[in-house]
Amino acid sequence: MLLLAAAAQAASTVETPNVRATLLAYAPEGVAAGQPVWLGLQLRHRPHWHTYWKNPGDSGLPTTFEWTLPDGVTAGGIEWPAPRPLPFGPLVNYGYEGTVLLPVPLDLSDAARGRDLRVRLRADWLVCRETCIPESGDFEIVLPAGRVLAANRAAFETARAARPAVLSDVRAAAQVRGDTLEVEVAGLPVRLHGATLRLLPETEGLIDHARPVPQSWQAGRWQGRVPLSSQRSASPERLAMVLLAGADSFRVDAPVAGWRAAMDAAVPAEPAPAALAGFAAALALALAGGVLLNLMPCVFPILSLKVLDFARHADARRTRVLGGLAYTVGVLLSFLALAGALIALRAGGEQLGWGFQLQEPAFVAALALLFTLIGLNLAGVFEVRGLLPGSVAGWRLHHPAADAFLTGVLAVVVASPCTAPFMGAALGFAFTLPAAQTLLIFAALGLGLALPYLLASLVPAVARLLPKPGPWMARLRTLLAFPMFATVVWLLWVLGVQVGVAGVVGLLGVLLAVAFAVWAWALPGRSRIGLGVPALALAAAAGVWAAPALRPAGDVPPAVEAGWMPWTPEREASLRASGQPVFVDFTAAWCITCQVNKRTTLTDPAVLADFERAGVALLRADWTARDPAITAALAQLGRSGVPVYVLYPGGARAPLVLNELLSPGAIRTALDPLKRKETL
Amino acid sequence: MNTARLSALALCASLVLPAAAWAVATVGQPAPDFTAADTTGKRHSLADYKGKYVVLEWVNPGCPFVRKHYSSNNMQATQREAVDSGAVWLAVNSTSPRSGDYLPPSDMGKWMQGQQAAASATLMDADGKVGMAYGAKTTPHLYIINPQGTLIYAGAIDSKPSGRVEDIASATNYVKAGLKEAQADKPLSHANTRAYGCSVKY
């Protein structure tokens, strides 16, 4: 493919199937020191084929020259004519089709006086249409001393006219903000004001050339926000660029400020982990997050159980204290077990985050079953001691702490899917630490969750606040069955989002059969055997029948609400690249805090109107089922669980991570600085 | 109506931004996961290779720059060195079936075999999804992903962007150098370079 033939017989013209290349000379005042002397390589391309500009764009190679010159002669660089953008699929190149002349000025010193000058050129070019062919040619030309060479005047004048204009009163400056290069150019001709300009940087590897440049004119100054390439390989202190406006072209040169800050900011994607002064701060945040977790809607069902527990043991201080301690131990151990499992699975390469257990439909179903049983128990359908073998029931009676311990386990299983304020940042940080420290942070979190009950169980004054035991306790117990059933409703909905309606109906069948079985098994005497055995068989059959419907449905298309678009990394990137503000709602059906925020804030018409006024694109990242892309995006934000609410204000401003408990006021405050910008 | 207008706006934005797919893979960030079939139909996911260094090489036998590095044995030597060090080498062909350069999987497999390539697998990405996710622009275009799944290198095979085989000897091979540095727990001297070669024929 390389034109080795041309090397043997150096000539001023080299012809390939795609290019006819000729070395031309131009010396209008004669070949003499101090006079303008030009050489230029003229490339005549086969129709639709092209060669490249000094920055070839997304692919390609610039044409290069290697001169062999006699003493006293030096050659300058190529004075590139303005190139054309050449789109190819999703890529853009810059280059030339048809005929182009690449001129180079020669400088003749006195040493070259009075001699014929033999000049050799080795040129390399890449000529492409769909396919690309690297070609080269060796050229030789003799410049006779003193001779006027004007035959190629037209070609050189055309090339001069095609050069981008350099205007003396044009001033340009550039500033890096985040992943955008903000360029401002003042002093361009008035006739261009308002025109759309195309910016071609002369430096390679700086931008993705197909991405549009949002731009505006203000008081005669052109402002462009050039998205930098995410795989940028250059950070020039000065940037020369060509601006194309129709047939006009201008070359401007701008100092570039802000690379340093951009690189520092680029390393941790988010401010959250950076705000953590260190491990101690993370521990404190985890403890506070754990305490606040008690206020999250997730924990309501557990709250009910603890209220009942307190009422039962209000008079027995020892039992109460023991219960408080057992609950704390249950919470701590479950947190550690869950965190340990998560660390181990992540080390094995699983893309999992906090709350991952509820991404498993079988686990959700099991939890629904458990809460149904607790609800039935509270409602008085059966007594646990009636079901269990005598020895176990007796043991349990003598060890009430075991109940408290199990409540602690349940609290973690149900409550952990939600992250509380402070907790999100602490958790995200935790997973960047060595395993031992991660576990310590989780222990702090568990301690925080258990702390209010532990303190309440230790302080006798709290128990004295409760009324004396009496018939009201039985009523309270029945009443508390309802939060349990409410939890089942929620879990069924989670399952519905994960596997669809067939799975929900299957699970409902199982729940019905199990409810019947525990009722039948609790009957006295013979009927227990007569009804209980078939009931158990029925429950087992229901389980077998429902199991296949509980498999993850695979690609369930996310339900789209008006105004919201499903989040994908590509969509977020393209919206942000276009300069539009973006709000991302990282959510999951199993995250009750997320659902509460959605009801109170994110479906509020006034809030939606605020978003619209500020021109914010709304994206929803639904993490109900496992999704590695979302897990990765959360990790970039320094988080490992939902909810997370992020507002990218557009342009180069830093993203804002909102509080986990949203309110319309909080959204309004966040949107405040986002005064609708002028339309670009 | 407001929300409809908003989504219409966003839709338009995504249509007029053909390059929306760029900007995804970024050095220092988690490498985008993907699943693609190799020339024998076996499916590979990036996630399968967590815990190992993974090199991605964009390849198109119809491209003279690819042939420069294969005919000189440079690419195969780089592949062998990487694989011998425990890394996984995935060659990716994102050529669209609409392009004259397209090779069906079996032909692509035969070509790699004929070149005595040492790639662990050659993935067919005819719809360009993997290429778009990584912002692959040229053949060759190379990426290194560390065992934690973070992208640590994106760019050229070496430091001399040319079509000349003679330049290989004096060029710095960024992939060999980058892998060595990474495996010695050193930061890469060149983490982003400008890839050179033919356009990927999406």
Average pLDDT over residues A480-493: 85
Amino acid, res. A202 = E
Interface contact flag, A612 B198, Cβ < 8 Å = no
Which chain B residues are closer than 8 Å to A575 by Cβ? Answer: 10, 13-14
Q: Is the dihedral of CA B23, B26, B31, B37 positive or negative?
A: positive
Kindly state which CATH superfamily the domain B23-199 is placed in.
Glutaredoxin (3.40.30.10)
Query: CA nearest B4 in A: which residue?
Result: A563
Q: What is the mean pLDDT of chain A?
A: 81
Q: Which domain holds residue A644?
A: 564-671
What is the structure's pLDDT at A565? 86
Interface contact flag, A91 B199, Cβ < 8 Å = yes
What is the structure's pLDDT at A130? 80
What is the structure's pLDDT at A677? 46
Indicate the Cα dihedral angle A158, A21, B137, B110, nearest 10°. Answer: 160
Query: Which of A100-109, A343-352, A490-499 has the lowest average pLDDT?
Result: A343-352
Tell me how many degrees the CA angle B145-B148-B153 measures, rounded to the nearest 5: 25
Q: Are residues A39 and A118 in the same domain?
A: yes
CA distance A229 to chain B (A): 6
pLDDT tens for A457-476 read: 887 777 677 666 677 777 88
pLDDT tens for A566-618 read: 888 888 888 887 778 899 999 887 777 787 788 888 888 888 888 888 889 89
Q: Which residues contact A361 (CB under 8 A, 6 or more apart)?
A: A495, A498, A499, A503, A550, A551, A552
Residue A101: CB atoms within 10 Å:
25
Which chain A residues are closer than 8 Å to B162 by Cβ? Answer: 61, 124, 134
Distance CA A658, CA A418 (A): 15
Cis previous bond, A47, omega within 30 = no
Token pair in block for residue A297 = 């809607």
Which chain A residues are closer than 8 Å to B18 by Cβ? Answer: 90, 210
Q: Are residues A155 and A285 in the same domain?
A: no
- Of residues A210 and B119, more confidence is placed in B119
- DSSP secondary structure string for all residues of A488-499: HHHHHHHHHHHH
Which of A16, A59, A576 has the highest number of chain B CBs within 10 A, making it the mutation to test binding with B? A59
Most confident of A334-338, A387-391, B26-30, B153-157: B153-157
Q: What is the 3-state secondary structure (H, E, C) of chain B?
A: CHHHHHHHHHHHHHHHCHHHHCCCCCCCCECCCCEEEECCCCEEEHHHHCCCCEEEEECCCCCHHHHHHHHCCHHHHHHHHHHHCCCEEEEEECCCCCCCCCCCHHHHHHHHHHCCCCCCEEEECCCCHHHHHHCCCEECCEEEECCCCEEEEEECCECCCCCCCCHHHHCCEHHHHHHHHHHCCCCCCCCECCCCCEECCC
Q: Which residues pair with A24 in a beta bridge?
A: A40
Average pLDDT over residues A198-209: 91
What is the structure's pLDDT at A420? 60
Tell me phi and psi for residue A113, to 5 degrees: -65, 135
Residue at which a domain ends, from A479, A505, A530: A479
Distance CA A268, CA A225 (A): 23
Which chain B residues are closer than 8 Å to A269 by Cβ? Answer: 29
Can you point out the beta strands (E) in A228-298?
238-245, 248-257
A679 confidence band (pLDDT: 50, 70, 90): very low
Q: Are residues A455 and A323 in the same domain?
A: yes
pLDDT tens for A120-141 read: 999 999 999 888 888 999 999 9
Share of chain A above pLDDT 90, in %: 24
The beta-carbon neighbor of B20 closest among A133, A574, A636 is A574
Q: What is the mean pLDDT of chain B?
A: 86
A113 confidence band (pLDDT: 50, 70, 90): confident
- Note whether residue A493 is domain-resident: no
Which chain A residues are closer than 8 Å to B3 by Cβ? Answer: 562-563, 608, 612
pLDDT at A637 over 70: yes
Share of chain B above pLDDT 90, in %: 74
pLDDT at A290 over 80: yes
Interface contact flag, B13 A580, Cβ < 8 Å = yes
B14 confidence band (pLDDT: 50, 70, 90): very low
CA distance B186 to chain A (A): 17
- Of residues A110 and A63, more confidence is placed in A63
CA distance B131 to chain A (A): 11
Domain count, chain A: 4
What is the structure's pLDDT at A293? 80
- Note whether residue A520 is domain-resident: no
- Of residues A287 and A273, more confidence is placed in A287
Pick the closest to residue A139 from A7, A5, A15 (CA basis). A7
Residue at which a domain ends, from A445, A479, A513: A479
* CATH number of the domain residue A632 falls in: 3.40.30.10
- Note whether residue A90 is domain-resident: yes
**3-state SS class at A454:** helix
- Of residues A643 and A82, more confidence is placed in A82
- Between the CA of residue B118 and those of A311, A337, B37, what are the distances in Å? 72, 43, 18
pLDDT at B131 over 70: yes
Interface contact flag, A208 B19, Cβ < 8 Å = yes
- Note whether residue A51 is domain-resident: yes
Residue with tokens 């440079």: B74
Q: Are residues A200 and A233 in the same domain?
A: yes
Interface contact flag, A233 B25, Cβ < 8 Å = no
What is the structure's pLDDT at B4? 34
* CB distance A496 to A488 below 8 Å: no
Query: Which of A263-267, A371-375, A454-458, B28-32 has the lowest average pLDDT?
Result: A263-267
Average pLDDT over residues B156-172: 92
What is the structure's pLDDT at A438? 82
- Of residues A634 and B20, more confidence is placed in A634
* CATH number of the domain residue A199 falls in: 2.60.40
Which chain B residues are closer than 8 Å to A227 by Cβ? Answer: 23
**3-state SS class at A645:** strand
Q: Which residues contact A140 (CB under 8 A, 6 or more apart)?
A: A10, A11, A12, A23, A118, A119, A120, A121
Query: CA nearest B201 in A: which residue?
Result: A89
Interface contact flag, B7 A60, Cβ < 8 Å = no
What is the structure's pLDDT at A553? 53
The beta-carbon neighbor of A89 closest among B62, B100, B202 is B202
Interface contact flag, A349 B202, Cβ < 8 Å = no
Q: Are residues A256 and A295 in the same domain?
A: no
Tell me phi and psi for residue A568, to 5 degrees: -135, 150
What is the structure's pLDDT at B40? 94
Chain A to chain B Cβ contacts (< 8 Å): 175
Interface contact flag, B28 A267, Cβ < 8 Å = yes
Average pLDDT over residues B135-147: 94
Average pLDDT over residues A559-566: 74
Q: Are residues A138 and A212 in the same domain?
A: no
Query: Which of A393-397, A628-632, B44-48 has the lowest average pLDDT?
Result: A393-397
Residue at which a domain ends, from A266, A298, A333: A266
Average pLDDT over residues A96-102: 95
- Note whether residue A652 is domain-resident: yes
A442 confidence band (pLDDT: 50, 70, 90): confident
A384 confidence band (pLDDT: 50, 70, 90): low
- Note whether residue A113 is domain-resident: yes
A501 confidence band (pLDDT: 50, 70, 90): confident
**3-state SS class at A583:** strand
- Of residues A37 and A571, more confidence is placed in A37
The beta-carbon neighbor of B137 closest among A91, A179, A211 is A91
Share of chain A above pLDDT 70, in %: 85
pLDDT tens for A502-514 read: 888 889 989 998 8
Query: CA nearest B143 in A: which residue?
Result: A231
Q: Are residues A217 and A286 in the same domain?
A: no
pLDDT at A74 over 80: yes
Interface contact flag, B193 A233, Cβ < 8 Å = yes
A391 confidence band (pLDDT: 50, 70, 90): low
Query: CA nearest A563 in B: which residue?
Result: B3
The beta-carbon neighbor of A577 closest among B17, B50, B51 is B17
pLDDT tens for A176-185 read: 888 889 999 9
Q: Which residues contact A598 (CB under 8 A, 6 or more apart)?
A: A585, A587
Residue with tokens 């075991």: A402
Average pLDDT over residues B144-166: 92
Which chain A residues are closer than 8 Å to B62 by Cβ? Answer: 131
pLDDT at A4 over 60: no
- Note whether residue A485 is domain-resident: no
Interface contact flag, A212 B7, Cβ < 8 Å = no
B10 confidence band (pLDDT: 50, 70, 90): very low
Interface contact flag, A608 B2, Cβ < 8 Å = yes
* CB distance A225 to A214 below 8 Å: yes
pLDDT at B45 over 80: yes
* CB distance A72 to A110 below 8 Å: yes
Distance CA A43, CA A64 (A): 13
Longest pairwise C-alpha distance within chain B:
63
Q: Are residues A108 and A183 in the same domain?
A: no
What is the structure's pLDDT at A495? 85
- Note whether residue A376 is domain-resident: no
- Of residues A364 and B45, more confidence is placed in B45
Interface contact flag, B193 A636, Cβ < 8 Å = no
Q: Are residues A592 and A642 in the same domain?
A: yes
The beta-carbon neighbor of A208 closest among B22, B50, B133 is B22
- Of residues B183 and A435, more confidence is placed in B183
What is the structure's pLDDT at A266? 41
* CATH number of the domain residue A156 falls in: 2.60.40.10
